[in-house]
Structures are given as structure tokens and as C-alpha cells.
């Protein structure tokens, strides 16, 4: 009886202490910590956690349920003293706190505030509802359930529908450290792709003969058409399915992320808005691209936005246009003569001279943004002269009826 009372008192004290911690723990202390996971083979606690096998799939802007249920082996236990905790795995032994609940007290952390909540579908349901999914939400999550003395955990993988695209900046190929590759992808509306995403892209036909950083710090590249400059004609140095006549994913392994330089493989997902091609009255230098898009309530599209529009919205246009990084590209869904080859994809003209080369522009309009110059309007120079004479400065442009 004394032991039982002591255990009960300890449990109450534990619950009260956790309640204080739940409400007062600073968010900064919840990220980047190391966590050691102990596995006891042949033993089972009274808390049993079940998560969905495989993975769940969503897209940017979507709502997804990360499934997790628990039950007690002994029916005498209640649920009031159970702590539910969701964390995201950022490294093999590093976790970021996502959500924690103890009884009626719930708290989400960091970027998950206002987006994460328990599904609450009856006793034993620890499933997490995640709204407005972002690119950064991709990855593995741990659902941990703890009572006074025992705990158990399960893993759920959240995958995103999207597209992998290779990227290097204007400075040329093999110029990016790992951190610079992360920033480059973010600037083009993406994140560094995972090895799994690159392998899936290779299976879908991606063929790229330049090595790039992935999110785990490895450097790889996909080859669907084996050739001597791209790892040879055989399977040496390839990973995954294939690796012979079918090519493979060439893997350089984990590289020194602060000293070695490569390209990047980025990943992006569904667009909430729309990418469209804008052809002004006359092609424009790069300096005029932003003003031309702004006239239509839009911004110059980023490389990731063009890839997403090509892959997920089936944008097809056989006309090169400026993008936000100063490159010129165009998306082809249905390959045809004089449109860059026999395979679908986003064609690149590289980084043309921004002052002398003239193109149209690919613009991105966010959802709900009005178009201040709907059909029937374009941009040009008022007062006569046009491009042949008069004011050529894009700052002097005014809307003209066409």
C-alpha cells in the first residue's frame, strides 16, 4: 500500500511538473537537441503505439493526418496521465519538437504553431493534423506516448508530391558549398531534395550529368542514358535500381560540406498561385522583367515555380522567358520540332546577357492577387518613338491599350 501511494504521488508530481514545463519551456530550447533512443529487445511496456506503415503523401498547402494510435495492455489504465509528443527527425539522433499534449494542455512549437493539432478521434488516438503543409514539413516524424513509468514510439514519414530540379547559379557549375546550396534552393522556391526524391526522379526519367548536393549532405546525380563522361557505360559508382544499361544514381557519398563545391538538386511542390508567360509589346532586357510582371499584379517567376508549373500544372510554352535569377527558360510538356528535343522538360538557355538579350518573361501571381491590366493591355513607351527612339528606360513605361 505504501509503495502504491508513493507511486501515485510520484505520478501526480510528474504530471504537475510536466504541466509547468509544457507551458513555460522556451521554444528555442526545443530545437536541435540530441536524443538517445533505447530499444529493449524482447520486452514490451504497457503502452503500445501503432503508426501507419510506409508513408503518407500530401502537397504544399494541403492538410494531412499523421496517423498514430496507442492502447494499454492493461485495461485498468486511464488516459488522463498520458503524455503525447510529436517530434521531427532532422538527423539520426537530432529531433525538433512539433507538438506535445498532457491532458487538456496542448502546445505546438516553432513553425507548427497554428497549424498542428490532435485529431482527437476517441480514446487512444494520438494522430496529428497538420494544415497548410510546407516544403519544410517533408520528412520523418516520431509519435511518442508516455505514461508514468513506460513509453513507446512509432515513426511516420510525410512525403510530398512535387518535382526535383537541378540548379546552379549564374556563377557557373560546381560553385556551391552545402550551405550555399540550401540557400540557392530556398531562393528558387525549393528545398534541397532528399536521396529518396532524387531516386524517384531518376525512375521518372531525370538525366543530369552534374553532381549536386542533397539534403543529407551527400552528393549524387541521376543518369538514365549511360555515357562515358557521366560515370561510364557500366554500373560502377551507381546506386539503386539499374546501374547497368539503364544507368543509375551515381553517388559520391558524404562530402565536406564547407569546403567542397557542387551544384544542387532542389525539390518543390504544388503552387498555390499561377505561372504565366507575359509577352510585352516588345521583348525586354532583364531589367524590364520585374516591371512587366508588376503591371499584371505578379512577380518574376522563380526557377522552382516554373518547374512546378510545368510538372504539376502542365504549363507548355515554346518561348524562352526571363526568370528571377536572370536565367532564360521555357517549359515543354509535349515535345515537338524546334522546341528543344524529343523529351519533355524545362529547357534552359543558361544566363544570357541581361542588358543585350531580349525575351518575354514568366510571371507568378499569388492566389487572390488581382490583375490590374487584364486582357487588352500591355506595356510600352508612350509619347512616340517606341523602341526605335525616345525613352527606352523601362522606368518610363506606361500601360498602353493593344
Residues 58 and 153 in one domain: yes
Neighbours of 278 (CB within 10 A): 21
Q: pLDDT for 347-396, tens place per residue?
A: 999 999 999 999 999 999 999 888 876 654 454 444 433 333 334 454 45
How do 360-365 and 321-322 pair as beta strands?
Answer: parallel
Confidence class for position 340, pLDDT limits 50, 70, 90: confident
CATH code at 109?
Answer: 2.60.40.10
Residues 167 and 213 in one domain: yes
pLDDT of residue 348: 96
Residues 264 and 274 in one domain: no
Of 160, 186, 211, the residue that ends a domain is: 160
Judged against a pLDDT cut of 50, whether residue 400 lies above it is answered with: no
pLDDT of residue 2: 38
Task: Determine the 3-state secondary structure of 88 from DSSP.
Answer: strand
Tell me which residue range forms the domain holding 215.
162-227+249-268
Task: Determine the 3-state secondary structure of 227 from DSSP.
Answer: strand
Specify if 25 maps to a domain: no
Of 106, 134, 160, the residue that ends a domain is: 160
Considering only CA atoms, give the Rg of the chain.
27
Specify if 11 maps to a domain: no
Average pLDDT over residues 31-54: 54
Q: What is the DSSP string of 203-224?
A: HTT----S-EE-TTSEEEEEES
Confidence class for position 227, pLDDT limits 50, 70, 90: confident
Average pLDDT over residues 214-234: 87
Name the more confident of 231 and 379: 231
- Predicted TM-score (pTM) of this structure: 0.79
Residues 104 and 155 in one domain: yes
> Based on the structure, what is the number of domains in the chain?
3
Residues 144 and 185 in one domain: no
pLDDT of residue 100: 97
Judged against a pLDDT cut of 90, whether residue 77 lies above it is answered with: no
CATH code at 325?
Answer: 3.10.100.10
Q: pLDDT for 121-150, tens place per residue?
A: 888 899 999 999 999 999 999 999 998 778
Amino acid at each position: 500500500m505504501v509503495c502504491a501511494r508513493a507511486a501515485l504521488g510520484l505520478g501526480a508530481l510528474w504530471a504537475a511538473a510536466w504541466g509547468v514545463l509544457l507551458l513555460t519551456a522556451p521554444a528555442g530550447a526545443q530545437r536541435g537537441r540530441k536524443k538517445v533512443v533505447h530499444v529493449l529487445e524482447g520486452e514490451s511496456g504497457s503502452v503500445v503505439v501503432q503508426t501507419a506503415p510506409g508513408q503518407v503523401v500530401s502537397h504544399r498547402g494541403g492538410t494531412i493526418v499523421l496517423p498514430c494510435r496507442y492502447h494499454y495492455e492493461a485495461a485498468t489504465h486511464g488516459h488522463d496521465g498520458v503524455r503525447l509528443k510529436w517530434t521531427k527527425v532532422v538527423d539520426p539522433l537530432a529531433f525538433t519538437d512539433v507538438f506535445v499534449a498532457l491532458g487538456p494542455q496542448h502546445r505546438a512549437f516553432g513553425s507548427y504553431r497554428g497549424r498542428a493539432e490532435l485529431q482527437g478521434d476517441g480514446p487512444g488516438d494520438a494522430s496529428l493534423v497538420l494544415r497548410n503543409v510546407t516544403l519544410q514539413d517533408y520528412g520523418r516524424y516520431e509519435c511518442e506516448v508516455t505514461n508514468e513509468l513506460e513509453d513507446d514510439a512509432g515513426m511516420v514519414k510525410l512525403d510530398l508530391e512535387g518535382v526535383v530540379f537541378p540548379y546552379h547559379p549564374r556563377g557557373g557549375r560546381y560553385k556551391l558549398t552545402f550551405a550555399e546550396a540550401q540557400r540557392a534552393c530556398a531562393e528558387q522556391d525549393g528545398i534541397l531534395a532528399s536521396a529518396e526524391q532524387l531516386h524517384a526522379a531518376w525512375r521518372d526519367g531525370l538525366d543530369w550529368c552534374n553532381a549536386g548536393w542533397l539534403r543529407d549532405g551527400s552528393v549524387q546525380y541521376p543518369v538514365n542514358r549511360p555515357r562515358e563522361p557521366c560515370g561510364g557505360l557500366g554500373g560502377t559508382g551507381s546506386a539503386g535500381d539499374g546501374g547497368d544499361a539503364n544507368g543509375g544514381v551515381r553517388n559520391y557519398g558524404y562530402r565536406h560540406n564547407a569546403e567542397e563545391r557542387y551544384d544542387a538538386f532542389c525539390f518543390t511542390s504544388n503552387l498555390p498561385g499561377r505561372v504565366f508567360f507575359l509577352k510585352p509589346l516588345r521583348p525586354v532586357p532583364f531589367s524590364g522583367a520585374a516591371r512587366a510582371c508588376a503591371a499584371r499584379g505578379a512577380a518574376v517567376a522563380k526557377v522552382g515555380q516554373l518547374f512546378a508549373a510545368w510538372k504539376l500544372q502542365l504549363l507548355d510554352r515554346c518561348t524562352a522567358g526571363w526568370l528571377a535569377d536572370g536565367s532564360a527558360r521555357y517549359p515543354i510538356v509535349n515535345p515537338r520540332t524546334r522546341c528543344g528535343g524529343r523529351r519533355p522538360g524545362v529547357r534552359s538557355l543558361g544566363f544570357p546577357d541581361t542588358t543585350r538579350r531580349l525575351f518575354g518573361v514568366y510571371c507568378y501571381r499569388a492566389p487572390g492577387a488581382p490583375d490590374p491590366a487584364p486582357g487588352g493591355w500591355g506595356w510600352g513607351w508612350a509619347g512616340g518613338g517606341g523602341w526605335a527612339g525616345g525613352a527606352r528606360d523601362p522606368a518610363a513605361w506606361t500601360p498602353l491599350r493593344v
